[in-house]
Structures are given as structure tokens and as C-alpha cells.
Amino acid sequence: MGSTPPAGADAARLEAPRPEAQANSAPRDEVDELVDAWRAQRPDLDVEPLQVLSRISRLARHLDIARRGAFAAHGLEIWEFDVLSALRRQGPPFQLTPGALVRATLVTSGTMTNRIDRLAAAGLVRREPDPSDKRGVLVTLTEQGEARVDAALADLLRSERALLANLDDAERVRLADLMRTLLAPFDAATDA
């Protein structure tokens, strides 16, 4: 365990506003309260990661709600949108092998087989023979699947724009760059 600072020094540190808080014109939020409470209770720990990661976690919850709402309005679950959008992003003829869908959606092959079966039963995709592999199949987006994923994407983007409404263009670019820097090592580990 680290040494505990004297009570007077600790109290002064807690009462004095942090320099970055003074320079920041953003209003305080629940994470500020959480961080302040942890600083008071555990002055021996560096709780600064909470400043970023607790906000990311809270934003993820809001994004999840927005995603579910946008997809539900079009009769889709999140997993259905993920598969359909992986196909849609390919461009015509909107096809991928089941293995490519597994890699695009980060699920197991057994899970993907089940998902393809369910989407095919709903008329959103169809299986076709793979002309380059006599034993293989291609999963193809149907017109109905294309229409549903396109409409759900448009609604999702409206919701996501609303989530980012308090940021100007430069702030959005900067935030995207910072998030990319944070995510890159995880993506590299997944690709390896």
C-alpha cells in the first residue's frame, strides 16, 4: 500500500479545482461526481482513467438504446442488422461466404449458421452455390433485406447525429481520431 497524504494536504487537494476543470467550459456530469467520490475515498489510487472510460461506458449505453430503437422500428435485432449490413457494404451483388460473415461480425461459425438460417427463413438473405467452390455457398442479400438494412441505417445515423449534436465538426474529427488511437491495439490483436 502507498502512503496516505496528510489529512490537511488531502483536503486541500480535494477542495481545489483541478486546472483542467477550470479551463474546461463543459458542465459537470455524473462522472465528475463519481471521480470526486473515489478521490475522496481512495486518495492512494489514480482514478483518472475513469474520466474517459466511464464516459465511454455511459455513451455506449445511450448508443445501444439508439441502435435498438432504430433497428426495432424496422423489425430487426442488432445481430440481424450486423449480418445484413456486412452484406450491404459489399456492394452488388451483396454476397459473402459464411466464413467472411464470421470474420465481419466476430461470431462463431455455429452462431453464423444459425443466423443465416433465421435470416433466410425471414426472406432477408438467400443461400446460393459458390461458383468458385463447388461445395461452398454464398450468402446473398435479398431486395427485402437490402430495403430493411438501408432504412434501419438511415434511422441509426439520425440517432447517432443527435448523440453528437453538442460537438462541432472539428470536435467530432478530433474525438474520432482519439477513439481510433484507443481502439487500434485491440483491433490489431483481433486481426492477429
Residue 192's pLDDT is 65
pLDDT for 4: 43
User: Could you tell me the domains of the chain?
Assistant: 75-151 (1.10.10.10)
* CB contact at 8 A, 31 and 51: yes
CA distance 115 to 76: 12
Please tell me the predicted confidence (pLDDT) of residue 102: 95
* pLDDT (0 to 100) of residue 186: 86
The pTM of the whole model exceeds 0.85: no
- Grid cell at residue 37: 467520490
Residues of the chain with pLDDT under 50: 1-22
Dihedral over alpha carbons 127, 117, 145, 95 (to 10 degrees):
-40
Residue 17: predicted pLDDT: 43
Kindly state the DSSP code that residue 76 receives in the 8-state scheme: -
